[in-house]
Homo-oligomer: A and B are copies of this chain.
């Protein structure tokens, strides 16, 4: 498990990106266009044809599935530099929507797939990307399958803290509802878990979106079950 969390540490992307299209330093020659996506705006729907794939330049995008009763499960949040829409086949398997206002780079999916296939370096890069993403999802599988609401929220905050690399103080860019849909909980349970963590002195909040984490290791311990927390 320690290995998993070590893996989860994601390098921080600069807020403003490099000029041209590239992936991990490798230049992409496939044509790309820019697209703005507003917060709450839908990029594509589950079942849509998938002619494009996207790279986040700035902002946050979420991909989610909607169940027949309207509840949602957020599959993944994508931050700056992340590429998504590439692993789909003929049609989109999830719905994508802007969490914040976003700037995206759009690639023709076939052209990009072709370019990847013809470059060993790019192929390797994509293999690595998929492996990393697979690990992340598997970590979350353990969370959703075996961890309590408090543990999930704690783990969520720890992950955010590591991503933002601003220990002590993090800004949660997603709503409580989005956290809930990400963690497989209801919005109320997320609130109560946050309250519980506050009560225990593990976090404090300057505003509803600004969290302080005095001792990240303590929070991480909670997330990993070191304590009588179910």
Partner-binding segment picked from A86-94, A158-166, A196-204, A205-213: A86-94
Residues of B within 8 A of A146 (CB): 67, 71-73, 184
Given known pairs A46-B3, A89-B7, the reply for A145 and B68 (CB within 8 Å) is: no
Asked if B4 contacts A93 (CB within 8 A), the reply is yes
Interface range for A: 35 or more
Asked if B131 contacts A87 (CB within 8 A), the reply is yes
Can you pick out 9 interface pairs between chain A and chain B where the beta carbons lie within 8 Å of each other? A65-B142, A67-B146, A67-B225, A72-B146, A87-B134, A116-B127, A123-B127, A137-B137, A137-B141
Asked if B3 contacts A142 (CB within 8 A), the reply is no
Asked if A1 contacts B46 (CB within 8 A), the reply is yes
Interface centre among A1, A2, A126, A183 (most CB of B within 10 A): A1
Given known pairs A75-B141, A117-B120, A123-B117, the reply for A7 and B134 (CB within 8 Å) is: no
Q: Which residues of A contact B (CB under 8 A)?
A: 1-4, 7, 46-47, 65, 67-69, 71-73, 75, 87, 89, 91-94, 116-118, 120, 123-124, 126-127, 130-131, 133-135, 137-138, 140-142, 144-146, 183-184, 224-226
